Each structure stands twice: as C-alpha cells, then as structure tokens.
Chains A and B, each alone.
Chain A
Amino acid sequence: MKTRSIWVALFIYLVVSCQSINYAPAPPVTSQMVAAQKGQHVDLAKLREGRTLFVHRCIECHTLPPVWHHRVEDWPPIVNSMAHRASLKSSQRDAIVAYILAARAQVR
C-alpha cells in the first residue's frame, strides 16, 4: 500500500512539474494576435480554427515544436509538406499557418 502511494505521488509530481515547465507549443489565440497580423486577412475565427487543427491533426504523427522553432518563411512549406497526410484542406492548411505565424509573432 505504501509503495503504491509512493508511485502515485511520484507520477503526480512528474506530471505537475512537467506542466509547470513552459513548453508553450500552442499559445491561446488573443485579440493582440489578430491586431499584430493586420493586412494578412486573418481574424479571430481563423486563428482559433488554426489552433484547433494544429493541436489535433499535427500530433497524430509527431509532437508539436514550439512555434518559434522555425523561421517565418519556413513554416508554410513545412505545413504544406504534411498537409496531404494529415487530411488537411487548403483552407485548413492556411488557417494553421496563419495561427502559427500569429502565435510566433507574439512569442518572440
């Protein structure tokens, strides 16, 4: 019983401590993100759709890299190269790229 409690406590500690590290793979959409992307034809709804698709579709094959991990010009071809295998329509692919670039601009 005591051993089991130690294992449970260790597991909870591991999850909580890992949670406290800021991996920030997909920061929430804010109105500041939209404002920062002025002239890019993005709105709140498109960025929210992009985030939802990013955290659902992309992790079916791999974990999510931080949005600052690649350069702005590299993100569209990266997403494009995997769009087919993730069953993404072109509008969905555009929403993901728009979200990543907007989030990246906020994080950096």
Chain B
Amino acid sequence: MLERCVHSICKVGLSILLLSILPMTPALAGARHFTYIYEALTSAPGSFESENWVTSLGTTNPERSDQVAFRHEIEIGVTDRLQASIYLADWFYENDPAHSGFTYSDSAIELIYNLTNPVIDPIGLSVYQEYKGGDRLFEWESKLIGQKNLGPLILAYNATLEAVWKGKGLSEREGEFQQAVGASYEISPRISVGLELLHEFIFPEWRDNEKIRNVFIGPNVSYRHQSWFVTVTALAQATNTPDEADFQLRTIFGFGF
C-alpha cells in the first residue's frame, strides 16, 4: 500500500511540474531568511525557482560517521496563495570507513497554502503538507507556519508533525514532533542575520518510552541579489543525544529562471 503511494508521489509531482511550467514567467519565487524554518509567504503565481540544499552533519560519536546531505528542489508559485515544490532528489555522502560513498535517499512533493499575511494581519499563517518516498522510505509531514514581520525584523514559528515508515517492507515506524522558532533582522535589503532554534520530540515506533528530546540552536545569515539568494545556518546540539549530529551547517542556494 505504502509502496504504491511512493509511485503516486512521483506521478503527481511530475504532473504538477509540467502543468506549472506551461504558463511560466521567469522570476524568483522568493528569498529565504532561514534554512531550517519555513516562512508563511508563498511564491508569486507563475514564478519558478531552483533551490539547492547542502547540509553537513558532524558528530563526535565514534559509532557514527559524518554526512553531507544534498537536496535539489523546484519551487513553483501556482496561485496567489498556493505553492508547490518537488524535491527531485535527496541524496547524501557518508564518510564511513566501512562504506563511504553517495546514496540516493528519496524524492518528495510539498504544498504550502497561505492563510493570512504577516504584515497586515496580526499573524501570518500557512499550512504545509509534504509526502516523501524513496528506497525503503515513506514519510508524511504536516506543518503549521507562523510568521510576523515587525519592521526589519522577521519572527517565524513552525510546528511540525512527521510520521516515517522505513526499512525492509517499511516495517519500522517513527514519529516526530518539532517546534522551531527563528528571528531574522534585515541589516539592508540584501543582507539579513538571525537565529534559529529547533526542539524535537522523537517517538521510535510511535511511542515515547525513550523520551528522546533534541535541541539545536545557532545563527544564520542570508544574502540576496537580483534573481538569486544564499542562506546559511550553523546549528549546535544543545542536548546530549548520541544518535544526533553535534553540529550542522546548512546552505540553501536559490535562483529563479
């Protein structure tokens, strides 16, 4: 059943991509001020953008290895309030003495619907839904995105609920609830600096027996110019979970066609 869903994701994703390209006007879909946190605003209708993510994950745990994860995403403005994205490929490089190398992980589709505006309404809200499928992986992710713009300051909040099926026959299950808050201050129309904080609750086999909680915090910087932007966030783990990365550095480079 779930494997059939994975195939459906690929078909729906391809259809959205083709339908959206037809009336396309070349433009940037929007610059990101954060890399781990989503903002409430959706892209202009007809805009089309490529976003490329690189996330370095470092660990001091000798039983785990460092990783570099990559994502290639196409973001499309469908209507004034609806944005669709396709993750063409998530893949990673693992620096492991036993088996170093590149591995394809998954592909996904993502939809964001904007409800209220962060400037003129008391709070800007959007809802987010993502379906991800790959080699022995299916993931369902829902998010509530909040944002408030106060002059040059952007405050953002994400509440994320995630369910994962993985492994042989997709028999392993995991749930996650994540809260993320961020602030970004615009020094100039091109440069912003800020902070991001993630608070994760992990539920292996959808149970909370192990009480796994992770907190990550760190600064970010964003630069935008013409039809491209680059945003970088460095996060350090503030908790002591050995299975999680101690340091993360994420860079997102986006450009409009």
Which positions in A face B, CB cutoff 8 Å? 15, 18-19, 21, 23, 25-26, 51, 55-57, 59-65, 84-88
Bound CA–CA A15/B80 (angstroms): 27
Majority SS of interface residues in chain B?
loop
Which of B28, B45, B119, B153 lies at the interface centre, i.e. has the most chain A CB atoms within 10 A of its CB? B119
Which of A21, A25, A85 lies at the interface centre, i.e. has the most chain B CB atoms within 10 A of its CB? A85
Sample 7 A-B pairs with CB under 8 A, ordered by A number. Answer: A23-B151, A56-B80, A60-B31, A62-B186, A62-B190, A84-B27, A85-B226
Bound CA–CA A26/B25 (angstroms): 27
Check A60–B150 contact: CB distance below 8 A. Answer: no
Bound CA–CA A73/B189 (angstroms): 19
Residue of A nearest to B28 (CB): A85
Task: Give the residues in chain B near A23, CB-CB below 8 Å.
Answer: 150-151
Which of B27, B122, B152, B229 lies at the interface centre, i.e. has the most chain A CB atoms within 10 A of its CB? B27
- List 19 extra interface pairs beyond A59-B41, A61-B229, A85-B226, CB under 8 A: A19-B122, A19-B150, A21-B150, A21-B151, A23-B150, A25-B119, A26-B119, A26-B120, A51-B120, A55-B119, A57-B44, A60-B30, A60-B31, A63-B152, A63-B153, A85-B27, A86-B28, A87-B45, A87-B47
